Every structure is written in C-alpha cells, then in structure tokens.
Chains A and B, each alone.
Chain A
Amino acid sequence: MSGGAARRVELDPEEVGRDLASLVLTVVELLRQLMERQALRRIDHGDLDEEQVERLGLTLMALEERMAELREHFGLTPEDLNIDLGPLGPLLSTE
C-alpha cells in the first residue's frame, strides 16, 4: 500500500496509475475466469480433444501467471481486484 489520503488529494500520478491498473486488471481477471469456466464446461462435455485441452490449459495458466506478475508490479492483492457490485455481489468469484 503506497500513498495515504494526502497523496490521494494531490492526485499523485503514481496513485492514479495504480487505481487505473486495478480497474483494468479487474476486467482482465473477470474475462480470464469466464474463459476458464467455459473451458472447464467444454471439458465436462467432452467437446475438446487432448491437444486442445493442453493448449487451452497452457494459455490459461500463462494468463494466470501474467496476472500475478502484474498484480505484484502494481502492489495489488487479489482482493483489490474485486469490485463489489452491490446487489449482484462481488464481480469475481472468490474460489
């Protein structure tokens, strides 16, 4: 956590950048989770052959690793990326 209330008021460029990064990463993480869920459903239904499963798995795994790196770069935790949509609940699943 860098930057307290005072820095926020001064609109520290670094802080603004971090807020923006957190928003963008949240959206990317949402898409990543949706893709993963869809991939698992297709495996459940036996829609994919072994090669396709492997390629999908590698892609999703790489995305997850990249997400972790980006989070670390901006000093964000997984919880920071979860937007609370009020009545709809949190944007991301917590598993």
Chain B
Amino acid sequence: MTYTWLYAVAPAGPDASPWQVLPEGVADEHPGTVEAADLLAVVGPVPDADFDTDALQRHLGDPQWLERAVRAHHRVVSATVGRALPVRFGTVYRDEDRVRALLTAHADEIRTALAGIADRTEWGVKAYLDRARSDGETDGAGEAGDGPGRPSDDRPGTAYLLRRRTARDRAERALADAAGQARQVHLALSDLADRSTEHPPQPAEATGVRDPMLLNGAYLVHRAREAEFARAVAGLRERHGPALRVELTGPWPPYSFAGLPTGGDAG
C-alpha cells in the first residue's frame, strides 16, 4: 500500500503535465500529477510502511535520511518553480483522492496563493555577527576606557580586570550594534520585496558558522526587481561590512510564502 506525498500545486493547463520529466522523489518514486478544480498537484506514491506517522517520526530523527529526503523534495519542487506553490516538506495524504478533495475544497485559497507567488521567487538573506572584523575595528579604542580612578602600574591586577571588563563591554556593544544593523538590513530588503518574513536564527550546529546569526530573512521578490534586490544586498553588505557578514541565497521556490492549507492526513 502507498500513501501520497504532496510536492507542489499549480494551475492546470492544457497539458496533462506541464513538466516533461520530474526528478525522482523522496522514496525514489516517479512523481506524477493529479488534477481537480482546474488545479494540478504534483504527487508521488510512497510506501506507507516508511511514511506513516511513526515511521516518519523515526526517519525525521535520522539526519542522513532527512537530508536525502529534503534534497529529493527540493529537487521535485524546483522542477516546478515559477508556476507552482511549493508544499511544506512532509505533507502526506492517504491517497490521491484525498489530494483531489483538498484541491476542490480549497480551490479559491490556492488560486489566491498562486497569484501571490506568480513570477516571484524567494531569496534568503542571512547576517552573522562578523566577530573578527568588528573586534579589529574597535581595537585600541577600549584602552582609554579604563576611565575614572585609572589604576596605576602598581596595581596590575586591577588594571588587568578593568581591561577585561572593557573587552567584555565592547563585545556586548558590538553584538547589540550588529543586531540593530541586522534590523536595518531586514527593513531595507523588505521594502523591495512583495512579502518578507523572518525565520528563527539557526544554531551554529546547522550552519557550521560559529558567529551568531542575527538575521535569517526570506524575501519574495518579483522577477522584474531581482537585479535591484541583488544590488541592494551588495550595497547593504558594503555598508554594514565591519559589523555583519551578509549572505544571499536563491532563487528558491517560495517555500516561506506558499501558505497552503495542507497539513496532510497520513504523515
């Protein structure tokens, strides 16, 4: 027996499937399409033994399985990019009829969502505290900050602790300042995007970067504004360079802006 994994939803066109060949899916299956209410869902049959609630929970705890499956999901979704709403990873229905029922029941919402992402792609911008560079920038500035009651050379222990305190305060200020600049980056890019959202900052474990992540933004950008958006990111990277390291990724399928009423009913 199989369940039905949902990848994406698109408007139905004259072709049964507008995609000549879809890549293999999360269970190495060949995805196909089902149609209802003038909408097309990209789906793949997946073995229920591997994709019922328990099995899926178990798999989600296995980083290797997860990475492979997420990549497969992304490959299929990417093949439909430009005309389809990507569906959240892990959306599973009992069978294709349930998917047709979903398309029919939510046809209007889906069409609205499709209109919202048409000709738009998602761009990701992450900003990290650039510790190495923001430290170098202010080096030496703190030495004068030992301030009132400056300890003389005959109190080296006190001088040491005050130096350490200055360094601590400087690090705290640098972090607060960089966080403020990350806000500005987000606001500036949100102005160029049709929609924007922030995801929780990822931990160092996920990014392999030790510096704290201060912005994990997603921006839905119209094709006509892509070049402008890229220029804006370059400009912001330049302006905030000493404090922040800004990374741009994309174009992505608009995962963050799909907003489908699809929770799945099997997974």
Measuring CB to CB, which residues of chain A are less than 8 angstroms from any residue of chain B?
36-37, 39-40, 43-44, 50, 53-61, 84, 86-87, 89-90, 94-95
Contacts and interface: CB of A to CB of B under 8 A. Distances in A.
25 contacts: A40-B164, A43-B161, A44-B165, A50-B155, A53-B157, A53-B161, A54-B157, A55-B157, A56-B161, A57-B160, A57-B161, A58-B156, A58-B160, A60-B157, A61-B156, A61-B160, A87-B203, A89-B203, A89-B210, A90-B210, A94-B210, A95-B135, A95-B167, A95-B168, A95-B171
Contacts of B138: none
B228 to A, nearest CB: 36
B232 interface: no
Given A58-B157, A60-B160, A95-B167, 14 more contacts: A40-B161, A53-B161, A54-B158, A57-B160, A57-B161, A61-B160, A86-B205, A87-B203, A87-B205, A89-B203, A89-B210, A90-B204, A90-B210, A95-B135
A40 B160 contact: no
Given A50-B158, A55-B157, A60-B160, A94 B131 contact: yes
A39 B165 CA distance: 10
Contacts of A40: 161, 164-165, 168
A56 B210 CA distance: 31
Nearest to A48: B161
Nearest to A44: B165
A25 B31 CA distance: 55
Contacts of B161: 39-40, 43, 53, 56-57, 60
A60 B161 CA distance: 8
Contacts of B210: 89-90, 94
Q: Which of A43, A57, A87, A89 has the most CB of B within 10 A?
A: A57
Given A40-B164, A40-B165, A95-B171, A59 B203 contact: no
B203 A56 contact: no
Interface in B158-211: 158-161, 164-165, 167-168, 171, 203-205, 210
A63 to B, nearest CB: 11
Q: Which of B155, B164, B205 has the most CB of A within 10 A?
A: B164
A71 to B, nearest CB: 18
A36 B164 contact: yes
Interface pairs A-B: 6 shortest CB-CB:
A57-B157, A58-B157, A57-B161, A54-B157, A61-B160, A57-B160
Contacts of A43: 161, 165
B157 A61 contact: yes
Q: Which of B161, B165, B168, B210 has the most CB of A within 10 A?
A: B161
B250 to A, nearest CB: 27
B155 A54 contact: yes
A82 B117 CA distance: 45
A3 B168 CA distance: 37
A56 B160 CA distance: 10
